[in-house]
Amino acid sequence: MKIKSLFIAAALSACVFANAQQTILRKQRPNQTLLMTDNRIFAEKQTLTLQDLIPGGKNYFRFVPQSIRQLQWCGDSYMYVRNDSLILANPAKDSENVAFTLAQLNDTLQKYGLPETNGLPAFSVPDKRKSEVLFNSNNYSVLYDLSTHKALAKYALEKDGENWEYDKAAGNYAYTKENNVFILTKNGEIQQVTNESDKGIVSGTAVHQHEFGIEKGLFWSPGGTALAFYRMDETMVTDYPIVNVNERVATLQPLKYPMAGMKSHEVTVGVYNLKDKSTVWLQTGLPKEKYLTNIAWSPDGKFIYIAELNRGQDTCKLVRYSAETGLKDRELFTEINTKYVEPQTPIVFLPNDPAKFIWQSLRDGYNHLYLYNTEGQLITQLTKGQWVVQEFLGFDEKGKNLFYTSTGENNPLEIYAWKSDIKTGKKVRLNTKTGVHQVALNATATYLIDQTSSPTIPRDIDLVSVKDGKAVKSLLSAENPYQDYQIPDIKVGTIKAADGKTDLYYRLVTPPGMIASEKHPVIIYVYGGPHAQMITGGWLNGVGGWDLYMASRGYVMFTLDNRGSANRGFDFESVIHRQLGETEMADQMKGVEYLQSLPFVDTERIGVHGWSYGGFMTTNLMLTHPDVFKVGVAGGPVIDWKRYEIMYGERYMDHPAENPEGYDKSNLLNKAKNLKGRLLLIHGSVDPVVVWQHSLLFLNKCIEEGVQPDYFVYPSHPHNVIGKDRPHLYEKITRYFEEYL
């Protein structure tokens, strides 16, 4: 749930008519618009449909800014796919050649007794220092050397295997099957690492509900001789009933879902030695209910570092364990915050000095990099300022400089890449263009692949020299995919928060050719929660396709990143602690005040829509300010935070026994009686994130209180409605606002 932005007026609609009074008339054909000047038809332009603008739509691919397929570093070259060929390009020599074609790849596959493939597969580069690619084809995985055109290894993948983790050092795979861990060696041997028969004990997968940056559960040692893995005991966690309605008779598929205040799962870490096929368990001790996060191996493979967080999430300890004995070796340091500590990234060792590592922390109010030694002593704070480090990218070959991306030092909506001297702290920005940058650093830290977007740049891709930060070659400059279409106007600006001093960024999307003297209904699109930023300095300021669609139909679309959202520092985001919904709503109502000051906004027709945390906000705004909001659509809404999962819920609300007043004030069941306007709730019937119970209980409370919400269910959909059904979702939402707003 994260992002960033800056608001600029984007006059992308028919500027030739800018000085003429324009009236928009819709014809019977819904995807065409007439522009009228002095009562005469002056021009006709195509407008965009939901199938064009919503992911999963039939034409959506046509309106995503052009990119370069599979662009990534491989050895000293960057590679990409063009038509049926894999291309290698050497930036130092400014040359490129065909690594192989689809026909050549199939010849190689046949040579090694493997089935042919109908198209070039997805390639990964396990070691950026080598010209080797890894790809899957017809249930096989192949390691292919681009320099010799030989398959170095082939692996027959088990069809029901999951969570495949390749080890570039020894060339083995770790994977999971059902609830156990297995290893597929380079010579084809399968080793079973765990043998859990109880389905309530799961090994090798991500734990702690994917919080704390945890995305996987298998961790190879640097030399590939050992595998660390998570073991999660969920037997003590209550089963939550999920019903599969697709069977002849509906079946129960229970989910382990620890709710705030209830018993949580217990996690341990095992270390499997491939040579003697034995496992040791790290002695992480008591209490068992704690979070073992951000696993990192020492460069010599002798130790494992874990950021351990107590269940209260206010104390984090970096602890080192022996990978050979499992015993605790040392507690290096402790971070404490009266609200919460949230480790997100493992430590990273300096390449030329394994006795030093980098730790990321919000301890000074912004996420920054700190240099420690392996005795746990802080050497220096490497980055500092009122901006947020986004991603640590790596080091140069000598370990003299480090590289990272961060929010803009003067604008939190932008993202830039930096090179910083570890000793002196002197830093150089590696991007010249204003906007949001996504970068990839090559193995020798001499070049960057730099993808830029801005309010007016759909996507530029440049090759950048790390030496001076200058672009040495343009790889792509994507055209505006909307250039032939009728597009609304987009404006970004700031208003003051409810505290009267904090600047909040907003985005205002208005109908193309809008007449300021005419009144328009307004829809506020809201998220409002942590780890998310809706307004960015990227393409069209991060505006969504539905906003463009609704603005083209005559609505004013508004989004505000209230306090509690991401990338503005710890104080800005953590202000919501123990009182979810209070500060966020106060700031959103400042946005409403701004809208009410605009002459073209119909203050009697204000709607609101959001999903997940935004569904909670939508419902809360409708119930807390029933005389302001006429229509709302809440998707997957949290209704009662006691029924949300422990890791996220207790971080922001504490244990229910510690904060009964906060839980009570944020419980929307207590406000159901206030409903006046039209409120549509939408939920996926197998939602594992915000379980279906939330909206069902709300409906039950509305019946009890005699108020009338509307409701729609997406059977067999989880938390988000994605794929080909997503345009259906937005047609449903659109119709609701069209009918009632």
Nearest to 333, CA basis, from 317, 355, 345, 347:
317
Instruction: Give the SS3 label for residue 126.
Output: coil
Tokens for 301? 């493979």
Tell me how many degrees the CA angle 281-237-244 measures, rounded to the nearest 5: 120
Q: Residue 414 and residue 429: Cα distance in Å, rounded? A: 13
Torsions phi, psi of 599, nearest 5?
-65, -20
Nearest to 687, CA basis, from 637, 649, 728:
637
Q: Strand pairing of 251-252 and 243-244?
A: antiparallel
* CB of 439 closer than 8 Å to CB of 521: no
Which positions ≥6 away from 649 have C-beta within 8 Å? 259, 260, 641, 642
* CB of 307 closer than 8 Å to CB of 357: no
Q: Residue 716: how many CA atoms within 13 Å on its side-chain side?
A: 8
Beta bridge partners of 134: 124, 143
Instruction: Give the SS3 label for residue 669.
Output: helix
User: Pick the catalytic residue: 396, 462, 640, 687?
Assistant: 687
Torsions phi, psi of 18, nearest 5?
-60, -30
Q: Tokens 């946005």 map to which residue? A: 591
Rg (CA), the chain: 27
List Cα–Cα distances, 104 to 69, 99, 117, 150, in angstroms.
Answer: 19, 9, 11, 11
Q: Residue 190 and residue 311: Cα distance in Å, rounded? A: 37
- Active-site annotation holds for 609: no
- Active-site annotation holds for 719: yes
Characterise 705 by phi-psi region: left (phi > 0), alpha (psi -120 to 50), beta (else): alpha
**Counting beta carbons within 10 angstroms of the beta carbon of residue 21, is it exposed (0 to 12), middle (13 to 18) or buried (19 or more)?**
exposed
Q: Residue 105 and residue 150: Cα distance in Å, rounded? A: 10
Tokens for 668? 């929307």
- Active-site annotation holds for 687: yes
Nearest to 380, CA basis, from 323, 425, 439:
425
Q: Which amino acid is at 143?
A: L
List Cα–Cα distances, 642 to 257, 376, 473, 705, in angstroms.
Answer: 12, 38, 54, 21
Which positions ≥6 away from 337 have C-beta within 8 Å? 314, 363
* CB of 104 closer than 8 Å to CB of 117: no
CB neighbourhood size of 415 (10 A): 28
Q: Residue 147 and residue 144: Cα distance in Å, rounded? A: 9
User: Pick the catalytic residue: 13, 203, 612, 666?
Assistant: 612
Q: Residue 525 and residue 737: Cα distance in Å, rounded? A: 13
Tokens for 418? 């930096």
Characterise 483 by phi-psi region: left (phi > 0), alpha (psi -120 to 50), beta (else): alpha
- The DSSP result for 362-417, as a single string, is -TTSS-EEEEEETTS-EEEE---SSS-EEEEEEE-TTSSEEEEEEE-SS-TT-EEE
Active site amino acids: 612, 687, 719
